[in-house]
Amino acid sequence: MGHVGVVSSSPSSLPFSRRFSLATARPRRAISFSILAGMNDDPIREWILTEGKATQITRISPIGGGCINHASRYDTDSGSFFVKTNSAIGPSMFEGEALGLSAMHATKSIRVPKPYKVGHLPTGGSYIIMEFIEFGSSRTDQSVLGRKLSEMHKAGKSDKGFGFDVDNTIGSTPQINTWSKDWIEFFAEHRLGYQLKLALGQYGDSSIYEKGQRLVKNMQPLFDGVAIEPCLLHGDLWSGNISCDKNGDPVILDPACYYGHSEAEFGMSWCAGFGGSFYNSYFEVMPKQPGFEKRRDLYMLYHYLNHYNLFGSGYRSSAMSIIDDYLRMLKA
């Protein structure tokens, strides 16, 4: 994952190496189509040459950047497609991504790659075919990004409450999206609580677990006076998942979507580079709610805990510091 218009504060803050930044990726080499043409059962080729309305695949170019999934650009006589494959994991992960992309696409707000097809590979594993977006070389306009994102939040609503139709992943960590009518309960159980249990099980970290549980049980005052409606969230909005197309319009990709409190979208802001113009534009469409500044670190905590569980102790101190600060603030 490379940066695309906004940068992280340090190399150590670059997470989720499974992801792909098409803006900075370059094909390493071309693969002769004759290799795939000789395969008896290639569902990717079959879809492209039927429903994809192509008559010829002219070039297949691997795109670097991921360590779990393999990404390629398929050039054809009817345009280009972006394909990700995974040789070990079934299609559920890609199905979650496709549903998220489709939900964001349906808001007709910010641009996202349109998903076309998810399926099984005959040799095991899975694939997803989606729109290939040619990224521009300019930096993302922060004010336009803020406005487009707020328009997505305003348009993407759910009458089921908080959650999503399927569980998905945040990085490679499962993200539980069981529907709930109460945001605080949802965030306590399926976001902070789930990550705290992972830390306890993986590291035996009873200290962060016990303090984190105290926070979870006492965080209600942070939401006093706030009316929370379910908004469609990208869910993992950091610099590597933000780019712009050739027209300079912002593009977001590789989501971990669910319906949640709009402020939770800023939980990765510590490596997203959101500036004043971003927030000013965002809050023109989605007005700032009382206590926003007090809740900001709470939403960052979810991602710091996830990084701790994914990448180890380097992120523990940041997570623990946030927990301790809140326990002092709440006198819990």
Tens digits of residue pLDDT in 57-78: 999 999 875 667 899 999 999 9
* Rg value, the chain, Cα: 20
Sheet hosting strand 79-86, strand order edge to edge: 57-63, 70-76, 79-86, 126-131, 115-120
As given in the structure block, the two tokens for residue 197 are 């249990």
Active site residue 236: yes
Give pLDDT, residue 133. 96
Give pLDDT, residue 305. 98
Give pLDDT, residue 15. 40
Residue range(s) occupied by CATH 3.30.200.20 in the chain? 43-131
What would the pLDDT profile of 87-124 be if each residue is shown by its tens digit? 988 899 999 999 999 999 999 999 999 999 999 999 99
What is the rounded CA–CA span in Å between residue 82 and residue 92?
Answer: 18
Q: Which of 236, 249, 324, 325 is catalytic?
A: 236
User: 171: burial class by Cβ within 10 Å (0-12, 13-18, 19+)?
Assistant: buried
Q: Which fold has domain 142-330?
A: Aminoglycoside 3'-phosphotransferase; Chain: A, domain 2 (3.90.1200)
What is the rounded CA–CA span in Å between residue 225 and residue 131?
Answer: 42
Low-confidence ranges of the chain (pLDDT < 50): 1-39
| CB-side neighbour CA atoms (13 Å) of 186 | 23
Contact 248, 138 (CB under 8 A): yes
Predicted TM-score (pTM) of the model is 0.87
Give pLDDT, residue 139. 83
Q: Which fold has domain 43-131?
A: Phosphorylase Kinase; domain 1 (3.30.200)
DSSP string, 116-152: EEEEE-TTSSEEEEEE---B-SSPP-HHHHHHHHHHH
Give pLDDT, residue 89. 87
